[in-house]
Amino acid sequence: MRALIHGLKIEKKDMNAFLILLSAPVLLTLYYYHGCAPCFAQYFPAFKENPLIGLFNTFWQFGVFFALVFLIPLLFIKLRLKAPLRDFGLSLGDKKFGLAMVLVAIPFIVAPLIYIGSRFPDLRAEYPLAKILLQRHDLVIWYELAYVLFYYTAWEFFFRGFLLFGLREKYGDMTAIMIQTISSCLIHLGKPESEILGSIVMGILFGVIVLRTRSIWYAFAIHAGIGVLTDLFIIFL
C-alpha cells in the first residue's frame, strides 16, 4: 500500500474533505439502486397487489433518501467532525433577507413559472411521482407532507448543507457550489430534459442563496415550493 501511494501528497486534514466528496457517489449510488420507487414492491412483494402500492413505493423512496443523505451525513458531522449543525446551514441565518426573498420568489416568480411548466407533457408524465394521487385526492396532503419533510429536507441538507459547507473551506465558495450542483444534476438523470437543465441553474442559484443567508432553509422553502406546486397544478388544474 505504501508503494502504491508513494509520491501522493496526502495530509490528515484533507481526509474529512475526501470523505465528504466520497459520500456523494457512494450514497447517491445506494439510493439509485435501493431507493428507487419500484424497490419497495421488489423488497416486499406481498404488497404488489395492494391498490396503494404506488404510494407505498414513493414513501419508500423518500424514506431511503432521508436515511442515506440526511441521517448518515448528520452522524458524520456530530461523531467525526464534532461540529455544530449551524455550521452546515441548519440555522435561520440571515432571517430578514431570507424571508423577504422567499416571500417574493414563491408567489411572484416560482408559482407563475411552475404553472406554465406544469402544462408541458413531459412534466405531466413525470409528476406526481405517485400517480394514484390523480384519482385519490384525499391522499395528496399526506403525500406532500412526506415529500417536503423527508425528501426536500434531506435534499437541501445533503447538497446545500453537507457538501457545500463541508467543502467550501478547502475548495472555495465557487468550486463548492459547482461540486454540489454537479452532484445534484446527476441525480436528476432520467427526468425530463427541462428539469435536468433547470437543476443546473437552480443548483448554482440555491448555492449562492445558501451561502448568502448562511442557511439551507430559504432555498429549501423555494425548492419545496417548486415541487409541491408542480404536483398541485398537475393534479387539480
Please write the tens of the pLDDT for every residue from 35-85: 998 899 999 999 999 999 999 999 999 999 999 999 999 999 999 999 999
Number of other CB atoms surrounding residue 232 within 10 Å: 17
**CA 89 from centroid of its chain's CA atoms:** 14
Residue 11's pLDDT is: 73
Give buried/exposed letters for 15-28 (b at 16+ CB in 10 A, else e): ebeeebbebbeebb
The alpha-helical segments, DSSP class H, found in 53-192 are: 53-66, 72-75, 95-105, 111-117, 121-126, 140-146, 153-156, 164-171, 173-186
CB 162 within 8 A of CB 19: no
DSSP code, position 134: G
On average, the pLDDT of the chain sits at 95
3-state secondary structure of 118: coil
pLDDT band for position 114 (cuts 50, 70, 90): very high
Q: What percent of the chain has pLDDT over 90?
A: 92
Among 4-13, 30-39, 101-110, which is the least confidently predicted range? 4-13
- For 123-133, what is the mean pLDDT? 96
Closest CA to 171 of 2, 7, 18, 5: 18
CB 31 within 8 A of CB 69: yes
- For 19-47, what is the mean pLDDT? 94
Mind listing the pLDDT tens digit for each residue in 155-170?
999 999 999 999 999 9
pTM of the model: 0.95
